[in-house]
Structure 1
Amino acid sequence: MKYLFLEYPKCGTCRNAKKWLDEHKVSYEDRHIIDQNPSVEELTEWIERSQLPLKNFFNTSGLVYKAMQLKDKLPSMSEKEQIELLASDGKLIKRPLLVSENQVLVGFKVAEWEESVK
């Protein structure tokens, strides 16, 4: 199975996830989440496929998230507005993302990846 791996190379968690993928000989296409930010269409599809709440896709520990005070603003925004916001800046998206045709993993949790990545 081929995966799309979205990462920010300066992110330690992304580097750990990439190392894990390489060690487990997982085939993937690498994509820089800032240089090639996901589109509204991609995010909409991935959020639906993941079956996770939209809020899980936000990088809540990120500087941009904090600077924009999104903790207070997101609850009053529509889902469409939130996805458009995510699509506007890759630094707002929790990373890494590992996308396949039937699943989307958000963040790097070894146990989850070991169970899900074949």
Structure 2
Amino acid sequence: MKIYGIKNCNTVKKALDWLKENNVGFEFHDFKKEGVSLEKLQDWSSKVGYEKLLNKQGLTWKQLDAETKATIIGEKEALQLLSAKNSMIKRPVLEFENGLVLGFQEEMYQRLFLRH
């Protein structure tokens, strides 16, 4: 299992802390240090849709000029933008054998990893 994100993001920190506290093994991939390939973004988009990958609530999106935002008319443009500005990817991205989860919700992680 691999978790993608930015180390100083509070939501990513919460997810990493939860995984550690619950002894769930993972590999961490830091967007800022390692980037994310267009191929990986295309794979994720095929699973959850590019609309969910693009975090329009974040500061990076809000700081974009209107002209740039207007160019995001489909998957191709969105993924190119996410590739160039990976801090706009909804995070963390949890990639595992049976799927992909965006964001951190403790209840979801419990359902995935703590089968009582």
Instruction: Give the TM-score category using the shorter length.
Output: 0.7 to 0.9
2:26 to 21, 25, 28: 28
Matched residue of 1:59: which SS?
coil
Show CA shifts across 1:40-99 (max 9, x none): 1001112223xx33211112222221111479526x522111111111121111111111
Q: Percent identity?
A: 27
**Aligned counterparts, 1:1-118, within 5 A:** 3-49=1-47, 52-69=48-65, 72-73=69-70, 77-117=73-113
User: Unaligned regions of 5+ residues in structure 1, if any?
Assistant: none
Q: Take 1:54 and 1:117, find their aligned partners in 2: how far apart are those partners?
A: 26
> Which consecutive aligned stretches of 4+ in structure 1 deviate over 4 angstroms post-superposition?
69-72
User: Unaligned regions of 5+ residues in structure 2, if any?
Assistant: none
RMSD: 2.0
The one-letter code matched in structure 2 to 1:6 is Y
With normalisation by structure 2, the TM-score equals: 0.85
With normalisation by structure 1, the TM-score equals: 0.83
- The count of aligned residue pairs is 113
Matched residue of 1:84: which SS?
helix
